[in-house]
Amino acid sequence: MIDAILAEETTDNRLNKLLKDERGLSLVELLAVVVILAIIAGIGVIAIGNVIQNSREDAAVADVQQAFSAAILYQSTNRTLNNGTAGAANFNLANVIDDGLLSANAWTSESANAPGTVQFYVSADGELTMYVPENILRAGQVTNDAVGAVDAGYTQSEINALTRDDLFTRP
């Protein structure tokens, strides 16, 4: 009986020594860890890419909204725009920038030709609307859709409600 207990203790001691002697990961365990990390990194890169693209598109929307706000200020400080004559009172974003109401750097959406092509229209009742032609704003590799139409731009409430989905078509 004593021999059986001693034999069992000897087996336990050898097993404990083997378990305590483990010094690192086996090659299979290491490979599994590397594969899991690669999968997580791949998912992270895709997610971060989408966040960056959404941020670029949101910045372009903010540029349009800021340009409209500056145009309202331009309209309110310019006598010829307040005389109630429709058509003669139209102006563009370059006029707003030249008047110092909007920084040239504020139109940051990689569009050097944009200020002259973004149009503002003043109706006979003094309502201001904005037209942004397509393909003058860029968010990454995506360019904008037109906002409004020639002589029938978006009103202030429509510009304020503008979203990235309104301004950019997803590929």
Say how far apart CA 171 and CA 167 lie, in whole Å.
13
Higher pLDDT, 10 or 54: 54
pLDDT at 160: 93
pLDDT of 26 over the 90 cut: no
Tally of domains in the chain: 1
pLDDT tens-digit profile of 80-93? 766 655 555 789 88
In eight-state DSSP terms, residue 171 is: -
113's CB contacts (< 8 A; 6+ apart) are: 136
C-alpha dist (Å) from residue 103 to 15, 16, 89, 114: 75, 74, 22, 13
pLDDT of 22 over the 70 cut: no
Q: What mean pLDDT is reported for the chain?
A: 81
Secondary-structure percent of the chain, ordered helix, strand, coil, rounded to 5: 55, 10, 30
Give residue 35's domain range.
Answer: 2-167
What is the pTM (predicted TM-score) of this model? 0.71
